Protein backbone atom coordinates (compact mmCIF):
# COMPACT_ATOMS: atom_id res chain seq x y z
CA UNK A 1 0.00 0.00 0.00
CA UNK A 2 1.33 3.45 -0.89
CA UNK A 3 0.32 7.02 0.06
CA UNK A 4 -2.15 7.37 -2.83
CA UNK A 5 -3.96 4.17 -1.87
CA UNK A 6 -4.04 5.30 1.76
CA UNK A 7 -5.50 8.68 0.70
CA UNK A 8 -8.29 6.95 -1.22
CA UNK A 9 -8.95 4.58 1.68
CA UNK A 10 -9.27 7.47 4.15
CA UNK A 11 -11.63 9.32 1.81
CA UNK A 12 -13.76 6.19 1.37
CA UNK A 13 -13.91 5.46 5.13
CA UNK A 14 -14.83 9.08 5.83
CA UNK A 15 -17.77 8.95 3.43
CA UNK A 16 -18.90 5.48 4.54
CA UNK A 17 -18.76 5.87 8.32
CA UNK A 18 -19.05 9.65 8.85
CA UNK A 19 -21.07 10.77 5.78
CA UNK A 20 -18.56 13.61 5.36
CA UNK A 21 -15.73 14.28 2.94
CA UNK A 22 -12.09 14.14 3.97
CA UNK A 23 -10.59 17.24 2.32
CA UNK A 24 -6.98 17.03 3.49
CA UNK A 25 -3.97 14.74 3.09
CA UNK A 26 -3.38 11.27 4.51
CA UNK A 27 0.03 9.63 4.22
CA UNK A 28 2.34 7.07 5.78
CA UNK A 29 4.94 8.42 8.19
CA UNK A 30 7.70 5.93 9.00
CA UNK A 31 9.10 8.20 11.73
CA UNK A 32 6.15 7.37 14.00
CA UNK A 33 7.35 4.84 16.55
CA UNK A 34 4.91 4.34 19.39
CA UNK A 35 1.63 5.41 17.83
CA UNK A 36 -0.50 3.97 15.06
CA UNK A 37 -1.54 7.31 13.64
CA UNK A 38 -1.84 10.99 14.33
CA UNK A 39 -4.16 13.84 13.42
CA UNK A 40 -2.40 17.17 12.94
CA UNK A 41 -4.43 20.04 14.43
CA UNK A 42 -2.97 22.83 12.29
CA UNK A 43 -2.73 21.19 8.88
CA UNK A 44 -5.65 18.73 9.42
CA UNK A 45 -3.58 15.98 7.81
CA UNK A 46 -3.47 12.40 9.06
CA UNK A 47 -0.26 10.38 9.45
CA UNK A 48 -0.36 6.60 9.67
CA UNK A 49 2.46 4.37 10.89
CA UNK A 50 3.34 1.95 8.03
CA UNK A 51 4.64 -0.66 10.52
CA UNK A 52 1.04 -1.34 11.59
CA UNK A 53 0.10 -2.26 8.03
CA UNK A 54 3.16 -4.50 7.69
CA UNK A 55 2.63 -6.26 11.02
CA UNK A 56 -1.17 -6.41 11.44
CA UNK A 57 -2.62 -5.77 7.99
CA UNK A 58 -5.45 -3.69 6.56
CA UNK A 59 -7.99 -4.21 9.37
CA UNK A 60 -5.74 -2.58 11.95
CA UNK A 61 -5.03 0.37 9.63
CA UNK A 62 -8.77 0.84 9.04
CA UNK A 63 -9.26 1.02 12.82
CA UNK A 64 -6.47 3.60 13.12
CA UNK A 65 -7.99 5.65 10.28
CA UNK A 66 -11.44 5.60 11.92
CA UNK A 67 -9.89 6.77 15.19
CA UNK A 68 -8.02 9.63 13.53
CA UNK A 69 -11.09 10.61 11.50
CA UNK A 70 -13.01 10.95 14.78
CA UNK A 71 -10.40 13.53 15.87
CA UNK A 72 -10.57 15.18 12.43
CA UNK A 73 -14.34 15.60 12.08
CA UNK A 74 -14.95 16.60 15.70
CA UNK A 75 -12.16 19.19 15.60
CA UNK A 76 -13.49 20.74 12.39
CA UNK A 77 -17.01 20.87 13.89
CA UNK A 78 -15.73 22.60 17.04
CA UNK A 79 -16.72 19.70 19.31
CA UNK A 80 -14.67 17.79 21.87
CA UNK A 81 -11.99 15.99 19.84
CA UNK A 82 -9.61 14.94 22.64
CA UNK A 83 -9.40 11.40 24.02
CA UNK A 84 -11.14 12.29 27.27
CA UNK A 85 -14.04 14.23 25.72
CA UNK A 86 -17.52 12.69 25.75
CA UNK A 87 -18.15 13.65 22.10
CA UNK A 88 -15.03 11.74 21.08
CA UNK A 89 -15.93 8.61 23.05
CA UNK A 90 -19.47 8.56 21.65
CA UNK A 91 -18.28 8.94 18.05
CA UNK A 92 -15.69 6.17 18.52
CA UNK A 93 -18.45 3.84 19.68
CA UNK A 94 -20.79 4.89 16.87
CA UNK A 95 -18.31 4.15 14.06
CA UNK A 96 -16.69 1.14 15.76
CA UNK A 97 -13.25 2.69 16.05
CA UNK A 98 -10.76 1.43 18.64
CA UNK A 99 -9.79 3.75 21.48
CA UNK A 100 -6.19 2.48 21.38
CA UNK A 101 -4.24 0.58 18.76
CA UNK A 102 -2.34 -2.62 19.48
CA UNK A 103 1.30 -2.34 20.42
CA UNK A 104 3.96 -3.36 17.97
CA UNK A 105 5.41 -6.71 19.02
CA UNK A 106 8.86 -6.29 17.54
CA UNK A 107 9.54 -3.01 19.30
CA UNK A 108 11.54 -3.46 22.49
CA UNK A 109 12.26 -0.66 24.86
CA UNK A 110 15.89 0.32 24.96
CA UNK A 111 16.96 0.73 28.54
CA UNK A 112 19.12 3.80 28.95
CA UNK A 113 22.25 3.69 31.01
CA UNK A 114 22.15 5.60 34.26
CA UNK A 115 24.66 7.05 36.68
CA UNK A 116 24.90 6.08 40.34
CA UNK A 117 26.01 8.71 42.82
CA UNK A 118 26.89 7.79 46.41
CA UNK A 119 27.30 9.69 49.66
CA UNK A 120 30.77 9.46 51.20
CA UNK A 121 29.40 9.37 54.75
CA UNK A 122 26.20 7.28 54.82
CA UNK A 123 26.61 5.51 51.43
CA UNK A 124 23.11 6.48 50.26
CA UNK A 125 22.83 5.86 46.50
CA UNK A 126 21.13 8.09 43.92
CA UNK A 127 20.38 6.97 40.36
CA UNK A 128 20.31 9.68 37.71
CA UNK A 129 19.96 9.67 33.93
CA UNK A 130 21.97 12.88 33.55
CA UNK A 131 25.19 14.05 35.08
CA UNK A 132 24.93 16.29 38.14
CA UNK A 133 27.39 18.79 39.54
CA UNK A 134 28.66 17.06 42.69
CA UNK A 135 30.29 20.26 43.98
CA UNK A 136 26.87 21.89 44.35
CA UNK A 137 24.85 18.97 45.76
CA UNK A 138 24.92 17.20 49.12
CA UNK A 139 23.28 14.04 50.41
CA UNK A 140 19.61 14.47 51.28
CA UNK A 141 19.92 12.03 54.17
CA UNK A 142 22.99 13.25 56.06
CA UNK A 143 24.27 16.32 54.11
CA UNK A 144 27.51 14.50 53.25
CA UNK A 145 29.52 14.90 50.03
CA UNK A 146 28.28 13.06 46.93
CA UNK A 147 30.55 11.43 44.33
CA UNK A 148 30.04 9.51 41.11
CA UNK A 149 30.13 5.87 42.21
CA UNK A 150 29.65 4.10 38.86
CA UNK A 151 27.83 4.07 35.56
CA UNK A 152 24.94 1.60 35.59
d(CA 92, CA 56): 20
| 68 catalytic residue (yes or no) | yes
d(CA 114, CA 127): 6
d(CA 41, CA 61): 20
Exactly one of 12, 55, 60, 68 is catalytic; name it. Answer: 68
For 10, 115, 138, the CA distances from 44, given in Å and listed in that order, are: 13, 42, 50
Question: Which candidate, 25, 28, 9, 24, places its Cα nearest to that of 66?
Answer: 9
Residues annotated as catalytic (active site), given as ranges: 68
Amino acid sequence: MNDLMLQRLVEEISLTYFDKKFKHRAYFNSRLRTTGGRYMLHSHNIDVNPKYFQEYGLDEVIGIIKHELCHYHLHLEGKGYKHGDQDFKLLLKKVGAPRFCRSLGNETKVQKAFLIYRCRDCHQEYKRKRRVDTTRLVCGKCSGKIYLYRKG
